[in-house]
Structure 1
Amino acid sequence: MGIPSIQPYFMPRKEELPKNRMSWTPEPGRAALLIHDMQQYFIDYYDPQASPVVELLENIQKVRARCRALGIPVVYTMQPPEQTAEERGLLLDLWGPGLTAHPHKHPIVNELAPEDTDTVLTKWRYSAFQRTELLDIMRRWRRDQLIICGVYAHIGCMLTAGEAFMNDVQPFFVADATSDFTRNWHEMAMTYVAQRCGVVLSTRDVLDALAESSPRAATLDLERLRGEVADLLERPVSDIQSGDSLLDLGLDSIRLMTLVERLRAAGIDISFVELAERATLDDWWEILAARMPLGRGKGPERERAHGVRG
């Protein structure tokens, strides 16, 4: 019962990855990044100075940095520090009390601590989709690809990839940004995903794919911004008046974060807090017009910028 002591092993190299049946490629406008259960409790079973955990932390940091630069949403899962026997269910029989016995080890490891704009989900079962809002959130974001990093490869990471596939979400299993109890279990997880439900990639593969891709461009002006907001609110454009409170119209934090990610992907440096503190379209446009890549101008020049979506 419980997680075994994990002995060091070498991370899989690119040339050792299994052959994929699918040829899907991660795209900035379609993908979300999942950082799965990277809590101190789970990482403490590794030797912190040895493979695979050294590469695990470095590679997740690299993937996360590339995703953030491209406006790809970052999602974390965290198992709760306190669970009743009923909440833990059959996990109690198989793994014992888990984090409940070590609540001080609940946080994400310092190297990967979430930012305020990241989404953090409480996770109750192996798959990140079970008893969470992950699928609903991805559908709101209109994201149908999931880049999976974290621990443990043959348990939560693999089951999450399988469930993503069953919900028509393309999973990308980052082989050297996941780790496991042993190299054999790690290889089993990679082989299963590559052959049955997803695409197995190295960190370098992910970085190269995202570097070659670029957010789709279009012009952004006040009317296009109005259209983006109407799209997020699922309302006719005519309902969105420049002086109306967008919060009163139903713009919640998840929809607002989606807009922020789209704007960042278009090269506009804007934060969630900056938009959340202002309630109207006119207020937003005053900020955004000065932040667009081509800068503030007069007449047509002020109306031009790289777009939110194609």
Structure 2
Amino acid sequence: MAIPTLPPYSIPLEVPTSRVNWQPDPKRAVLLIHDMQDYFVKFYGDNSPLMESVIQNLVCVRQWCKQQGIPVLYTAQPTEQSAVDRGLLNDMWGPGLTAADPKLQQVVAALAPDADDTILVKWRYSAFQRSDLQALLKNWGRDQLIIGGVYAQIGCLVTAMDAFMNDIQPFMINDAVAAFSEADHQMAVQYVAAYCGSVVNTAQLIGAAQSLNQDWLKARVLHWIDEDESHFDANENLMHYGLDSIQVMALVAELKKLGVQVSFEELARTPTLNAWWTLIESKSQPQ
């Protein structure tokens, strides 16, 4: 059975809460653009709003990764696949991409790889199967994998699980993946969030990695207490500077948007800037 014609759907903008508090780190991360070949994208039809949105978000993520020095990887199915190479995929999906139309093997134009990007030959659902992906991550000293592309409920999900099983933190980009349907999309992101990784939207991914640092926290606190930085003591009780409970609750909400789950009680226990940053760092480490 071949891949069916895929109907449009609206990507759920609200992401499920992940069980872990991992934060994307440009020094640890690799971007994987998964199966964004013309062959797989064509099943959504021409001028698909869903695919246009996914591609636009992947372009933004890829550009940001380039700026941050994050390696960019692609998976791409080959046009020449013997019955042995394709294995059980033949039973499930038929012959797949073939040499009959080699142009469909190309990655969509907006995401075309650069010379310094790496393309992995894709043989199975997981990008780790029969590829150098794990070895590349080890050689680069990287243990986070940011995943976008198609299809969310198949290759993207299985790759995320394989990453987790190899002690690599997977991040699935909710609005930069597409599935067969909205139900499949929700299943995929909910599974990753609950069992093997972190789910973020494009803005959260880029914003969290760029802004969540001690300087951001200090600037936020100084804004609230209206204190000159030259007179500020990072070990002083912030309540003595006039910080109130409403501002602490606002900080809890902001941190949650950045993927850090801290409670009002935890912040109130030791209300100093240095203590808060130590707490935030501990919440951002792998659980």
Q: Give the TM-score taking structure 2 as reference length.
A: 0.72
Distance 1:46 1:177 in 2: 15
Q: 2:149 is aligned with what amino acid?
A: G
Distance 1:91 1:4 in 2: 15
1:10 aligns with 2:32: no
Distance 2:25 2:166 in 1: 18
Which residue in 1 is equivalent to 2:208?
209
Higher RCO (CA-CA < 8 Å; seq separation 6+): 2
Distance 1:80 1:213 in 2: 40
1:66·1:210 contact (CA, 8 Å) conserved in 2?
no
* Structure 1: gaps of 5 or more residues: 215-310
Distance 1:150 1:94 in 2: 21
2:33·2:72 contact (CA, 8 Å) conserved in 1?
yes
SS at match of 1:98: coil
Distance 1:10 1:64 in 2: 22
1:35 aligns with 2:33: yes
Q: CA deviation at 1:207?
A: 1.1
Which residue in 2 is equivalent to 1:129?
128
SS at match of 1:52: helix
The number of residues matched between the two structures is 212
Q: Give the TM-score taking structure 1 as reference length.
A: 0.67
SS at match of 1:45: helix
1:1-310 aligned within 5 A: 1-13=1-13, 16-100=14-98, 101-212=100-211
Distance 1:104 1:123 in 2: 17
Q: 1:9 is aligned with what amino acid?
A: Y
Q: 1:123 is aligned with what amino acid?
A: K
Q: 1:76 is aligned with what amino acid?
A: Y
Q: 1:54 is aligned with what amino acid?
A: E
Q: Deviations over 1:210-236 (max 9, x none)?
A: 22269xxxxxxxxxxxxxxxxxxxxxx
SS at match of 2:208: helix
Q: CA deviation at 1:54?
A: 1.1
Distance 1:6 1:65 in 2: 28
SS at match of 2:39: helix
Q: CA deviation at 1:194?
A: 0.3
Q: CA deviation at 1:45?
A: 0.6
2:173·2:200 contact (CA, 8 Å) conserved in 1?
yes
Q: Deviations over 1:185-212 (max 9, x none)?
A: 0100001000000000000111102222
SS at match of 1:188: helix
Distance 2:12 2:132 in 1: 32
Q: Deviations over 1:234-267 (max 9, x none)?
A: xxxxxxxxxxxxxxxxxxxxxxxxxxxxxxxxxx
Distance 1:160 1:180 in 2: 14
Return structure 1 stretches of 4+ with deviation > 2 angstroms: 47-51, 101-104
- Percent identity over the alignment is 50
SS at match of 1:127: coil
Q: Deviations over 1:109-161 (max 9, x none)?
A: 10100000001111100000000000000000000000000000000000000
1:165·1:197 contact (CA, 8 Å) conserved in 2?
yes
SS at match of 2:206: helix
Q: CA deviation at 1:29?
A: 0.3
Q: CA deviation at 1:6?
A: 0.5
* Structure 2: gaps of 5 or more residues: 214-287
